[in-house]
C-alpha cells in the first residue's frame, strides 16, 4: 500500500510539471481532496458479543480523500476528448485507498452530451444530490450498507445536456465473463445498469433513478449489495433553507429462500445557510427490511431509524471545518450501524451494534480541496 502511495506521489509531481509546460497543447489538471479529523463511536465490539467505545483519528468522514488527474483535448467543432483518473487517499495513515475510484475516457459536446468508457461511480451515487448529508460517512449510505456509493467496472455511461430543465443519465456495466452474460471476473459486481432522470427549476429539483446491481455471479442475491432499486427524491429551496428527501425500494429476487429479500429506505432533512460561511444540517433516515431471516451476509426482518445533525464552516473557498453527530436505534433483529458496514456481527468488522442495540457517534475534522 505504501509503495502504491509513493508511485501516486511521483506521478502527481510528474503530471504537475508536465501540465505547466504542455497546457498550450491540451488541458491537464491535477486536483483532489484531503480530509481528516477525530471520530467517536460507541457500542462497537472489542470481541464477539463484547461492546465498548472507540475514539481516534479517521480519514474520509465528510468525504473520501482523493487524488485526481483529468484533462481535455479540443477536437474541433465543439467536440472534446475527456479523461479522468482518481484514486482514494487516507490522510491519517498516508496510504492510498484499497482500489481506484474512477478511470475513464470519453467524448463530450455541448449540444449532444457526454459519453464515457471505463470504471466510474455507479449511477445510484446520484442520491448524493438529494441527501442532506451528501453521502457523508453518516448519511444515506448508512442504513443500506453502502448500497449507493459503489463503483463499477466496464462501464459505458451517457449524460445528456439539459433540455427545458430535464437531463438524462444512463449507465451500462458489462460483466465480461466468457459463457455468462451477467457474471464477471473483474470485481464484486456483474452486469449492472441504470437510468436517471432529473428535472430542475430555480425552486426545486426532482430526481428518479432505477438501477440494477448484480453480484459477481450475475444474480440479485442480497437486498443491500446486489438488487434492483427504485429511487424518487428531490430538493426544495426556500431562501436560506433547502429541504431534501427521498424514498427507495430495493428488491433482490435471487436471494436464498427464507432470507429477507426486500427493503424500503426513506430520508428527510434540511440545510440552513445561516451565514455565507456557516451551514447547519439536520436529517432523519429510516429503513424497513422485509419479511425473512438473516445470516452472516443478509439482514433479517426489522427496521432502524437514524437521527443526525451537523455543520460546516468555510474558512475559504477550498477549506472548511465540519462537525457531525448521529444516533441510530435498531429494532430487535437489526444491527445497523451509523457507518455503512456489512451485515452481521463478525463479517470482517465488529463495528455493528448487537441486535436491537442503539449506537451513537460523532466526528469533526477539516476538509481541503485543491
> Residue 123 and residue 193: Cα distance in Å, rounded?
8
Tens-level pLDDT at each residue, the chain (370 residues): 434 444 444 444 444 444 444 443 588 999 999 999 999 999 998 888 889 999 999 999 999 999 999 999 999 999 999 999 999 999 999 887 666 789 999 999 999 999 999 999 999 999 999 999 999 999 999 999 999 999 999 999 999 999 999 999 999 999 999 999 999 998 999 999 999 999 999 999 999 999 999 999 999 999 999 999 999 999 999 999 999 999 999 999 999 999 999 999 999 999 999 999 999 999 999 999 999 999 989 999 999 999 999 999 999 999 999 999 999 999 998 999 999 998 887 666 789 999 999 999 999 999 999 9
Contact yes or no for 336/351 (Cβ under 8 A): no
Q: What pLDDT, on a 0 to 100 scale, did the predictor assign at position 4?
A: 46
> Residue 285 and residue 330: Cα distance in Å, rounded?
12
Enclosing H/E stretch for 31: strand 27-47
- For strand 192-200 and strand 204-212, is the pairing parallel, antiparallel, or unpaired? antiparallel
- Give the CA count within 13 Å in the CB-facing half-sphere of 205: 23
- By CB neighbour count within 10 A (0-12 exposed, 13-18 middle, 19+ buried), where does 202 fall? exposed
Q: How many CB atoms lie within 10 A of CB 268?
A: 16
Cβ neighbors of 254 (< 8 A, separation 6 or more) are 219, 220, 221, 226
Enclosing H/E stretch for 14: helix 2-22
Contact yes or no for 218/175 (Cβ under 8 A): yes
Q: What pLDDT, on a 0 to 100 scale, did the predictor assign at position 239?
A: 97
Q: What pLDDT, on a 0 to 100 scale, did the predictor assign at position 317?
A: 96
Long-range contacts formed by 86-90: CB under 8 A, 24+ apart = 87/8, 88/60, 88/64, 89/5, 89/8, 89/32, 89/34, 89/59, 89/65, 90/59, 90/60, 90/65
Residue 105 zone, left/alpha/beta (φ > 0; ψ -120 to 50; rest): beta
Q: What pLDDT, on a 0 to 100 scale, did the predictor assign at position 238?
A: 98
Q: What pLDDT, on a 0 to 100 scale, did the predictor assign at position 1?
A: 41
Contact yes or no for 330/304 (Cβ under 8 A): yes
> Residue 269 and residue 245: Cα distance in Å, rounded?
6
- Fold of the 2-6+30-369 domain: Porin (2.40.160)
3-state secondary structure of 16: helix
Going by the DSSP 8-state scheme, the letter that residue 2 receives in this structure is H
For the chain, give every domain's residue range: 2-6+30-369
Amino acid at each position: 500500500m505504501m509503495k502504491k502511495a509513493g508511485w501516486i506521489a511521483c506521478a502527481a509531481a510528474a503530471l504537475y510539471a508536465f501540465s505547466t509546460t504542455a497546457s498550450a497543447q491540451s488541458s491537464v489538471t491535477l486536483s483532489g481532496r484531503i480530509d481528516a479529523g477525530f471520530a467517536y463511536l460507541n457500542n462497537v465490539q472489542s470481541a464477539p458479543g463484547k461492546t465498548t467505545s472507540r475514539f481516534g483519528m479517521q480519514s474520509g468522514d465528510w468525504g473520501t480523500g482523493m487524488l485526481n488527474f483529468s484533462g481535455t483535448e479540443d477536437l474541433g467543432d465543439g467536440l472534446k476528448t475527456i479523461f479522468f483518473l482518481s484514486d482514494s487517499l487516507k490522510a491519517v495513515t498516508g496510504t492510498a485507498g484499497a482500489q481506484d475510484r474512477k478511470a475513464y475516457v470519453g467524448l463530450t459536446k455541448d449540444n449532444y452530451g457526454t459519453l464515457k468508457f471505463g470504471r466510474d461511480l455507479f449511477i445510484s451515487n446520484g442520491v448524493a444530490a438529494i441527501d442532506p448529508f451528501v453521502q457523508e460517512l453518516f448519511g444515506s449510505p448508512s442504513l443500506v450498507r453502502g448500497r449507493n456509493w459503489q463503483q463499477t467496472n466496464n462501464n459505458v455511461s451517457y449524460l445528456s445536456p439539459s433540455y427545458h430543465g430535464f437531463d438524462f443519465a444512463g449507465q451500462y456495466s458489462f460483466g465480461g465473463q466468457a459463457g455468462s452474460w451477467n457474471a464477471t471476473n473483474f470485481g464484486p459486481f456483474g452486469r449492472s445498469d441504470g437510468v436517471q432522470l432529473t428535472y430542475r427549476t430555480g425552486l426545486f429539483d426532482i430526481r428518479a433513478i432505477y438501477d440494477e446491481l448484480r453480484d459477481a455471479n450475475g444474480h440479485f442475491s442480497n437486498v443491500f449489495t446486489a438488487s434492483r432499486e427504485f429511487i424518487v427524491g428531490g430538493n426544495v429551496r426556500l431562501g436560506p433553507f433547502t429541504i431534501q428527501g427521498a424514498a427507495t425500494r430495493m428488491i433482490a429476487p435471487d436471494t436464498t429462500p427464507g432470507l429477507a429479500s426486500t427493503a424500503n429506505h426513506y430520508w428527510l432533512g434540511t440545510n440552513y445557510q445561516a451565514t455565507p460561511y456557516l451551514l447547519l444540517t439536520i436529517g432523519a433516515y429510516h429503513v424497513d427490511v422485509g419479511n425473512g431471516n438473516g445470516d452472516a451476509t443478509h439482514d433479517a426482518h426489522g427496521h432502524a431509524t437514524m437521527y443526525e445533525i451537523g455543520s460546516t464552516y468555510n474558512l475559504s473557498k477550498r477549506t472548511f471545518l465540519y462537525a457531525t453527530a448521529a444516533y441510530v436505534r435498531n429494532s430487535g433483529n437489526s444491527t445497523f450501524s451509523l457507518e455503512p458496514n456489512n451485515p452481521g456481527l463478525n463479517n470482517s468488522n465488529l463495528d455493528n451494534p448487537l441486535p436491537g442495540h442503539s449506537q451513537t457517534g460523532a466526528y469533526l475534522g477539516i476538509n481541503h480541496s485543491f
